[in-house]
Amino acid sequence: MTETQLKETIFKLLKRIAPEADFNSLAPTEDIRATLDIDSFDFLQFLIGLNEEVGVEVPEADYGKLVSLQDLVGYLSARLE
């Protein structure tokens, strides 16, 4: 899966939990949860969706590593190689 495909998948899943968000203005290093006002339950639903879409399970110990779009793409890319 390419970086572009990963970003498209991430945005598709984020739109399910934050449909009113403007993803075009989201900077690659910006805190997604804070910017989009995503609570812990919604973030967990997002991670479950990622697992279903790309086949990467994120252990709870790694949740803190996934702050920005850049973090998410890097994390997923490394596990899909």
C-alpha 5: how far from chain center: 12
- Contact predicate 69/7, CB 8 Å: yes
- pTM as predicted: 0.91
Q: What is the DSSP string of 62-73?
A: GGGG--SHHHHH
CATH number at residue 72: 1.10.1200.10
pLDDT confidence band for 68 (50 / 70 / 90): very high
- When pLDDT is averaged across residues 60-66 and rounded to a whole number, the result is 96
Mean pLDDT of the chain: 94
18-32, 44-58, 64-78: least confidently modelled range: 18-32
Of the candidates 27, 36, 38, 37, the one whose C-alpha atom is nearest the C-alpha of residue 69 is 27
Q: Which domain holds residue 9?
A: 3-19+27-80
pLDDT at 23 over 90: no
- Contact predicate 14/50, CB 8 Å: no
Residue 66 corresponds to which tokens in the numbers above?
Answer: 């996934």
13-17, 21-25, 74-78: least confidently modelled range: 21-25
3-state secondary structure labels for all residues of 20-55: CCCHHHCCCCCCHHHHHCCCHHHHHHHHHHHHHHHC
Domain count, the chain: 1
